[in-house]
Amino acid sequence: SIAGGIGQADGTAQYWFNGMPVIDRHDIVFRTGMNPNIQFHQFMIAPYIGSGSPADQYMWVDDLSLGTQSPYAPSPPPPPSSVPGTVSNLSVSNTGSNSVTLSFTEVNDGTGSPAKYDVRFDSPVISWGSASSVASGTCATPLAGTQIGAAKTCTVLGLAAGTQYQFQLIAYRGTLNVDAVFGGLSNVATGTTSSSSDTTAPTVSITAPANNAMVSGGVTVSANASDNVGVVGVQFKLDGANLGSEATASPYSTSFNTTLTTNGNHILTALARDAAGNTNTSAAVTVTVNNPSATAWPNEPAGSTLITDYAFSDPLPLGNSMPVGNGTGWAINNGGLASMVSDPTAPYSPLNVGQWSYPTGFAGGSAPATMGYASSNLANARDLYFGIWWKPSNPWQGHASGVNKILFIEQYGGACGNNLQNQVLTMYGQSEPYLLRMTNEFMIAPTYNLNPNVNNPAVTLGVWHRLEIHRKLSNTSSSQDGILQWWMDGTLVGNYSNINDPQCPFDSLSFSPTWGGVGDTKAENDYYRYDHVHISQFTGTQSSDTIPPTVTMTAPANGATVSGAVTVSANASDNVGVAGVQFKLDGSNTGAEINAAPYNYSLDSTLYPNGSHTLTATARDTAGNMNTSAGITVTLSNAAPRPPPGAVSNLSVSNTGSNSVTLSFTEVNDGTASPAKYDVRFDSPVISWGSASSVASGTCATPLAGTQIGAAKTCTVLGLAAGTQYQFQLIAYRGTLNVDAVFGGLSNVATGTTSSSSDTTAPTVSITAPANNAMVSGGVTVSANASDNVGVAGVQFQLDGVDLGAELTAVPYSISWNTTTASNGGHILTAVARDAARNTATSAAVSVTTLNTAPTPPVISNVATSNVTSSSATLTWTTNAVSSSQVDYGPTSAYGRVTSLDSRLVTAHSQTLAGLQKNTWYHFRMLSRDAAGNLAVSRDFTFKTRHK
């Protein structure tokens, strides 16, 4: 403020870090008499870390809030986050023969948002810990809330007719089994399903895809279902989890985007239900998902030479003309409707994909943008291969002409003169199903349309598709020996080998996606997206090798009974060379192809049903000849799933102190014949499991390990308040909490009251070093003085609220703090003293600022690649200081693989990469760390392995 023309020292500056105050000043002069009208102008986030950073770095900014308040008003503390509310009016409002309807009032999740709910049930009486979460119906866990205080109704399906059930739920926020914060358990609601005259379950069977089919890209899953009364719905499932939403009318089908799941075997089922709640599950259909990696181009002719690989994450030149004629490289005329966007489902560069927009009002016959590539290598080629990842939006408004162009292969000059001739790949059709058609435009000879003549797969909207084109020019102007082939998701769609065209050289590949002819206008916002363009040329001749490899299975033995992990192996040989061996179970691929001997892998037999199965191995050579071994029969025999752990039923409080209690109970089985572990919780005066705290101090601290099934177990809970009633409860489990724990049932509740303590005086404690507001670096001694009317039991130093070192139980109370392990900047030091009666006191905070000199890493230079073969390469480099050796490498700049660390400190470094794929570009970077721990990271380099 200004008083009498003089600025007053009443300005405020406060700063918190992770909730801890770092700066808290209320005596600052911001406005002087010379500048009495200074006001806030702008807020800026502009991080600067200086030059010479050894690697890309970044910072995240999230949840930014700006606000103003009246001068001199105190800054409000952040609102405390409370636990979610407790539902107290859960009721069964309606019953059917196989279903019930639950009703309750929604509650707060503790942060002002509607809570989520875990709904459980059992018959005839519920015990929360052993009850099942609802899996079928609109009450299925997790059940999302909609509005605090609103009446919520939902349905539980799949119940038995004429049976009593009990239901209970718990409100929570966060994610179950990850970071959920729970409220209290609701009341128990009881209901009995009615007896049904309809007890006949529907029949259901999956009709597509076929059992043991190999699938990729977008796949339609369909089923037939019937019932004596009527089918209400069919829910498809993938590996037991719902696939899409329930189909409530025939035809029963859903879309399965296989690129969103892992390669390998998966189980498809269909669950049909009728109006009476009777359900039936179809026989399982096993499919093998086989989507090649984003950088693999499965139909590229062997021995092709790369012309360009363009990832849309690379910088894109912008201009007003295309690189046709004498142009070279990539260019774009974006027309305002081409942009780089993120797409988490993109296979290659999800943070940057090219989007060509067709907004509402876009007129047919025009292109939103044009992007193209031209080069002398393209112009001189006669046999080209093109690969591209492409995704159409869902929904997509088709054009009345059926024309929805994707990309253009352009020819110019030669016999074409100054005319431009195009081969155009089109998503053809006015509505679904759309097909991939090849159209030839602006030819000297008559134009033609080439429709799918091998397969007729429909384009799946909203899904990434791998598109491949092979285009070979005819040998002479009169010969009909040109080739035009195209693939979608690895499936050959069109195959024409009798093409005749004039001798027009290739000029460019362009994306100028035109939407239809004249007459239609977009009534919705549609788009095409592109990710990764690959162009190569083939100059070799086809192999004369027509002899297939020989291959035999060597393990397991024919007729063997197996379980768990099974080693599967084969021997393979060829007159030229074996390129790979693919193992199959019942005709479907298991695992990836193995490209080098020994040909073996580990089969997880628990993923397949018990019973008889056939294993084979298919070998291929470098010329593409293939041969399949004789099959061997094995019987899978895996044990049934293990039962859950037991439930403790005799938990008791056997002894109490002023600040502690002793708990006793009998240990139980963890379900695998080993002693269970326990999560022990407590609260005062009454416990509610979901909101109770796990014991953190004493021998009862969670996780509490068991010792012997059936033995009497005792343990102690510390840190309680004197003269206070507490309740205790535990649950037995196996595995790791919040990772893979399998729980038993909740124990009984044990109640106990701590005794009153005659010592209620807390210690006194103060930090003596370092001084408040000190600047520190390197190793620093932190010390404190502490005293108590009876005696100090221990002093625990804390840095920013987190324990710093172990508790000190005797004077002097001091510890060494290595400040280089903390970030540069402000930090808070405190000391917590406790006495034997568990009274505690925390010292006044001491603010310090750490300032450690930034490390100087070694300098990497003289990077070189040598001894490159089809499967290995040697990388060398030097550093200006002795340091270790390691290399990140992989087929993309994301790398994905790293060599073993060579910890020897040297200045001349060498690492050999082995097991590489032939004819493949690899990215790599060097990593060298000196004796002081400073790490140097080189820039990105590339090399390409030989093709043979």
In a domain, 143, yes or no: yes
| Buried b or exposed e, range 664-685, using 16+ CB within 10 angstroms | ebebbbbbeeebbbbbbbbbee
CA distance 948 to 944: 12
CA distance 442 to 597: 52
Query: Taking phi first (over 0 means left), then psi (-120 to 50 degrees means alpha), and beta for anything else, what does residue 816 get?
Result: beta
Position 56 pLDDT exceeds 90: no
- What percent of the chain is predicted at pLDDT more than 90? 30
Position 877 pLDDT exceeds 70: yes
CA distance 481 to 473: 8
> What pairs with residue 866 in β-bridges?
874
CA distances from 364 to 86, 397, 513, 518, 861 (A): 57, 11, 11, 5, 55
CA distance 166 to 678: 26
CA distance 834 to 831: 10
Q: Are residues 316 and 436 in the same domain?
A: yes
pLDDT of residue 201: 84
pLDDT of residue 77: 43
Name which of 591-595, 599-603, 854-858, 925-929 the model is least confident about: 854-858
In a domain, 883, yes or no: yes
Q: Look up residue 868 and give its two tokens.
A: 């490159």
In a domain, 616, yes or no: yes
CA distance 684 to 686: 5
Count the Cβ atoms, other than its own, within 10 Å of residue 544: 6
pLDDT band at 326 (very low <50, low <70, confident <90, very high): very low
Q: What is the mean pLDDT of residues 916-944?
A: 90
Each residue's pLDDT tens digit, 93-107: 878 777 888 999 999
- Exposed/middle/buried for residue 63 (C-beta within 10 Å: 0-12, 13-18, 19+): exposed
Position 592 pLDDT exceeds 70: yes
Each residue's pLDDT tens digit, 107-138: 999 888 899 999 999 988 898 888 889 988 88
Position 322 pLDDT exceeds 50: no
Name which of 488-497, 794-803, 892-901 the model is least confident about: 488-497
The mean of the pLDDT values for the chain is 83
CA distance 92 to 248: 25
In a domain, 124, yes or no: yes
Q: What is the mean pLDDT of residues 308-324?
A: 58
In a domain, 71, yes or no: no
Position 265 pLDDT exceeds 90: no
Q: What is the mean pLDDT of residues 491-501?
A: 78
pLDDT of residue 799: 92
Q: For residues 889 and 922, is the Cβ–Cβ distance under 8 A?
A: yes
pLDDT of residue 822: 85
pLDDT band at 48 (very low <50, low <70, confident <90, very high): low
Q: Are residues 323 and 392 in the same domain?
A: yes
CA distance 943 to 921: 6
CA distances from 322 to 118, 336, 409, 818 (A): 58, 15, 13, 60
Position 444 pLDDT exceeds 70: no
CA distance 158 to 137: 8
Number of independent structural domains in the chain = 8
E-strand spans in 216-337?
Answer: 218-226, 231-238, 241-242, 252-257, 264-274, 279-281, 285-289, 305-310, 329-333
pLDDT of residue 517: 75
Which of 233, 256, 289 terminates a domain? The answer is 289
Each residue's pLDDT tens digit, 289-299: 877 666 678 78
Q: What is the mean pLDDT of residues 801-828?
A: 88
Position 70 pLDDT exceeds 60: no
In a domain, 552, yes or no: no
Q: What is the mean pLDDT of residues 550-556?
A: 95
Q: Are residues 168 and 209 in the same domain?
A: no
Element at 380 (helix H, strand E): helix 376-380
CA distance 211 to 268: 9
Q: Are residues 101 and 182 in the same domain?
A: yes
Q: Are residues 480 and 341 in the same domain?
A: yes
How many residues make up the chain in this entry?
948
CA distance 425 to 104: 56
Of residues 681 and 176, the one with the higher pLDDT is 681
pLDDT of residue 35: 63
- Exposed/middle/buried for residue 18 (C-beta within 10 Å: 0-12, 13-18, 19+): exposed
pLDDT of residue 32: 62
CA distance 19 to 8: 29
Name which of 33-42, 144-153, 430-439, 836-845 the model is least confident about: 33-42
Instruction: Please give the DSSP secondary-structure letter assigned to residue 670.
Output: -
Q: Are residues 457 and 314 in the same domain?
A: yes
Element at 379 (helix H, strand E): helix 376-380
Name which of 305-319, 664-678, 863-877 the model is least confident about: 305-319
- State the Cα angle at 148 between 144 and 150, rounded to 5°: 90
In a domain, 797, yes or no: yes
Q: For residues 674 and 734, is the Cβ–Cβ distance under 8 A?
A: yes
What single letter denotes the amino acid at residue 579?
A: A
Name which of 266-280, 461-475, 489-503 the model is least confident about: 489-503
Each residue's pLDDT tens digit, 740-760: 788 888 889 999 888 776 677
Q: For residues 98 and 196, is the Cβ–Cβ distance under 8 A?
A: yes
**Virtual torsion, Cα 23, 29, 30, 32, nearest 10 deg:** -170
Which residues are CB-contacts of 516 (< 8 A; sequence separation ≥ 6)?
A: 364, 365, 399, 400, 401, 402, 403, 404
pLDDT of residue 448: 64
Sign of CA dihedral 701, 702, 703, 707: positive
Each residue's pLDDT tens digit, 653-700: 988 877 889 999 999 999 888 999 999 999 998 888 878 899 998 899
What single letter denotes the amino acid at residue 113?
A: S
Q: Are residues 515 and 392 in the same domain?
A: yes
Name which of 154-168, 196-210, 286-300 the model is least confident about: 286-300
Each residue's pLDDT tens digit, 377-423: 777 788 889 999 999 998 899 888 888 888 888 777 777 777 767 78
pLDDT band at 211 (very low <50, low <70, confident <90, very high): confident
Which of 142, 158, 192 terminates a domain? The answer is 192
DSSP per residue, 84-115: P------EEEEE-SS-EEEEEE--B-SSSSBP
pTM score: 0.39
pLDDT band at 373 (very low <50, low <70, confident <90, very high): confident
pLDDT of residue 844: 92
CA distance 570 to 550: 10
Q: What is the largest CA-CA distance in the chain?
A: 110
pLDDT of residue 573: 94
Which residues are CB-contacts of 531 (< 8 A; sequence separation ≥ 6)?
A: 294, 311, 312, 343, 346, 347, 348, 349, 353, 354, 389, 390, 391, 464
- Structural domain containing residue 657: 652-753
Q: Are residues 692 and 732 in the same domain?
A: yes
What single letter denotes the amino acid at residue 568?
A: V
CA distance 283 to 206: 8
Q: For residues 204 and 282, is the Cβ–Cβ distance under 8 A?
A: yes
Name which of 70-84, 183-197, 204-218, 507-521 the model is least confident about: 70-84
pLDDT of residue 863: 93
Map residue 819 onto helix, strand or coil: helix
Q: Are residues 148 and 185 in the same domain?
A: yes
In a domain, 520, yes or no: yes
CA distance 644 to 757: 42
CA distance 211 to 223: 13
Q: Are residues 725 and 769 in the same domain?
A: no
pLDDT band at 865 (very low <50, low <70, confident <90, very high): very high
Position 20 pLDDT exceeds 60: no
Q: Are residues 128 and 184 in the same domain?
A: yes
Position 490 pLDDT exceeds 80: no
Position 54 pLDDT exceeds 60: no
Which of 808, 826, 850 terminates a domain? The answer is 850
Task: Assign residue 775 the CATH number of its domain.
Answer: 2.60.40.10
Which residues are CB-contacts of 390 (< 8 A; sequence separation ≥ 6)?
A: 406, 407, 464, 465, 467, 528, 529, 530, 531
Q: Are residues 22 and 163 in the same domain?
A: no
pLDDT of residue 328: 62
**Virtual torsion, Cα 251, 255, 256, 258, nearest 10 deg:** 140
CA distance 402 to 396: 12
